Structure 1
Amino acid sequence: MRLDRFLAESTELTRGLAKRALLRGEVNVNGQLEKKAARHVQPNDDVTWLGETLALIGNRYIMLHKPQGVECTSRREFYPRAVDLLDVAKSERLQPVGRLDVDTTGLLLISDDGQWSHRVTSPRHQCAKVYVATLARPLEGTTAQRAVRAFAEGIRLEGETSATRPAELECLDPFRVRLTIHEGRYHQVRRMIAAIGNHVEALHRQSVGELTLDDALAPGEWRELDAGEVALF
């Protein structure tokens, strides 16, 4: 790896600022002053900047308890972005793994590992996602039974030609349901609830695959996944 790239990936410096730091004589490689940006460094080389030993940051995998009013976008539009809640170096490299709409709360995964993110979100892998929805009108009795069957068989959403994949609907009480889906269509949960004549008042994602939102995380809080959790996908 080129030295200027190594500096940019292990510090807050951009490639341009890394080259300037080299020219100012701020960087040593294996104890020797180095000013050449094109110098290739090896994994066992000791690189220091202003006396601080550097190491590559590596891929990051984060669980965020997304609060309401936060966007899952790469560019800030009308609301704060999910990545803005993270106090980490090089946060601009991080991307939400899939999306939750601005009003939906709960488990949001964030990473800079594109292949891992693809395994989580790709329809081919059919990763289960579990939501709890608060409804505008009660769902009970025969209406609830029909809804459970409809979700299990698949629902044709407005504007789409294919039905949703089979989903599991569980009535927790007349105004709350737990819904498990295995795909990620646009506003899918809200549209499925609308298709049975109801409306979602609040939506919270509990889990993705075998990973469940940490109860210790308050809205807006986050933590890094451990190696075992990363390996779930």
Structure 2
Amino acid sequence: MRLDRFLSESTELTRSLAKKALHRGEVEVDGEVIKNAAFKLDDKQDVRWMGAPLSLVGVRYLMLNKPTGYECTTRPGRYPSVIELLDVTKPGRLHTAGRLDVDTTGLVLITEDGQWSHRLTSPKRRCDKHYLVTLARPLAEGAEHLLAEGLMLEGEDRPTLPARLERLPASDEGERVRLVIQEGRYHQIKRMFAALDNAVVALHREQIGDIALDPSLAPGDWRELTEAEVASI
């Protein structure tokens, strides 16, 4: 790999800024200052910029415990992007695999691997998504059966896929249920409970497929996925 390309892929430098850093004598390869942008590197050489060791970023797979007030987008909007919560090199390469609403918390998966995120979000895969839902009032009897059959939402021409509902003990925040769905329609869960004459007070995603939110992650914290978690998708 050319040295200027290596610098641009392992730091925040653009290709042109990498060349300028080289010309200023800021880059060393195996302890020797190299100014030639076309210098060819091999995998075992030690590259340092301003004394700091560099390595290629590679493909990343991350989990984030999303707090409220952040958008799952890479474009500036009304709210900050969840990508801003990540202290990583080259954050512009990353995207969220699926989305959560601004006021929804919990598990968000982030990567630069487009094929991996497509497998995760494709409706054909029917990947289970687990949510903890706090409701405004007690859920009507028979809701489990209606959700399992599929609901026709306002403005839709086909019912939702079968969903699984588990009633939980009420908390100080209100009535709580655990819901498992296999889709990701616009505001789907809020619209599903609206169809059941109820309202969502709080929504928290706990799990996607076999990847569960790490309980050690506080809101806004993140970690890399394990190899087993990545392979599960």
Q: Same fold (TM over 0.5)?
A: yes
Contact 1:144 1:171 in 2 (8 A): no
Q: Which residue of 1 aligns with 2:95?
A: 95
Q: Which residue of 2 aligns with 1:163?
A: 159
Q: Which residue of 2 aligns with 1:152?
A: 148
Return the alpha-carbon distance in structure 1 between the equivalents of residues 192 and 58 of structure 2.
39
Q: Which residue of 2 aligns with 1:77?
A: 77
Q: Cα RMSD (Å) of the superposition?
A: 1.9
What is the correspondence of 1:27-176 to structure 2 with a 5 Å cutoff?
Answer: 27-29=27-29, 33-139=33-139, 143-145=140-142, 147-173=143-169, 175-176=175-176
Contact 1:7 1:15 in 2 (8 A): yes
SS where residue 17 of structure 1 aligns? helix
Q: Which residue of 2 aligns with 1:8?
A: 8
Give the C-alpha shift of residue 198 in structure 1.
1.0
Give the C-alpha shift of residue 185 in structure 1.
1.0
Return the alpha-carbon distance in structure 2 between the equivalents of residues 207 and 4 of structure 1.
41
SS where residue 9 of structure 2 aligns? helix
Give the C-alpha shift of residue 192 in structure 1.
0.9
**Equivalent position amino acid for 2:192 in 1:** M
Return the alpha-carbon distance in structure 2 between the equivalents of residues 61 and 22 of structure 1.
31
TM-score, length basis structure 2:
0.90
SS where residue 144 of structure 1 aligns? coil
Contact 1:83 1:91 in 2 (8 A): yes
SS where residue 42 of structure 1 aligns? coil
Give the C-alpha shift of residue 42 in structure 1.
3.5
The answer to which of 22-31 and 74-83 deviates more is: 22-31
Q: Which residue of 1 aligns with 2:205?
A: 205
Return the alpha-carbon distance in structure 2 between the equivalents of residues 36 and 29 of structure 1.
11
**Alignment of 1:216 onto 2:185:** no
Contact 1:9 1:56 in 2 (8 A): yes
**Equivalent position amino acid for 2:150 in 1:** G
Give the C-alpha shift of residue 31 in structure 1.
5.4
Return the alpha-carbon distance in structure 1 between the equivalents of residues 216 and 229 of structure 2.
16
**Alignment of 1:231 onto 2:222:** no
The answer to which of 23-32 and 168-177 deviates more is: 23-32
The answer to which of 64-73 and 18-27 deviates more is: 18-27
What is the correspondence of 1:171-182 to structure 2 with a 5 Å cutoff?
Answer: 171-173=167-169, 175-182=175-182
**Equivalent position amino acid for 1:161 in 2:** D
Return the alpha-carbon distance in structure 2 between the equivalents of residues 30 and 86 of structure 1.
31
What runs of 5+ residues in structure 2 fail to find an aligned partner? none
Return the alpha-carbon distance in structure 2 between the equivalents of residues 214 and 32 of structure 1.
43
Give the C-alpha shift of residue 29 in structure 1.
4.1
Return the alpha-carbon distance in structure 2 between the equivalents of residues 4 and 57 of structure 1.
15
SS where residue 134 of structure 1 aligns? strand
The answer to which of 103-112 and 10-19 deviates more is: 10-19
**Equivalent position amino acid for 2:20 in 1:** R
SS where residue 152 of structure 1 aligns? helix
**Equivalent position amino acid for 2:162 in 1:** P
Q: What percent identity do the matched residue pairs reach?
A: 59
What runs of 5+ residues in structure 1 fail to find an aligned partner? none
Return the alpha-carbon distance in structure 1 between the equivalents of residues 107 and 222 of structure 2.
10
Q: Which residue of 2 aligns with 1:187?
A: 187
Give the C-alpha shift of residue 107 in structure 1.
0.8
**Equivalent position amino acid for 1:230 in 2:** V
Give the C-alpha shift of residue 155 in structure 1.
1.3
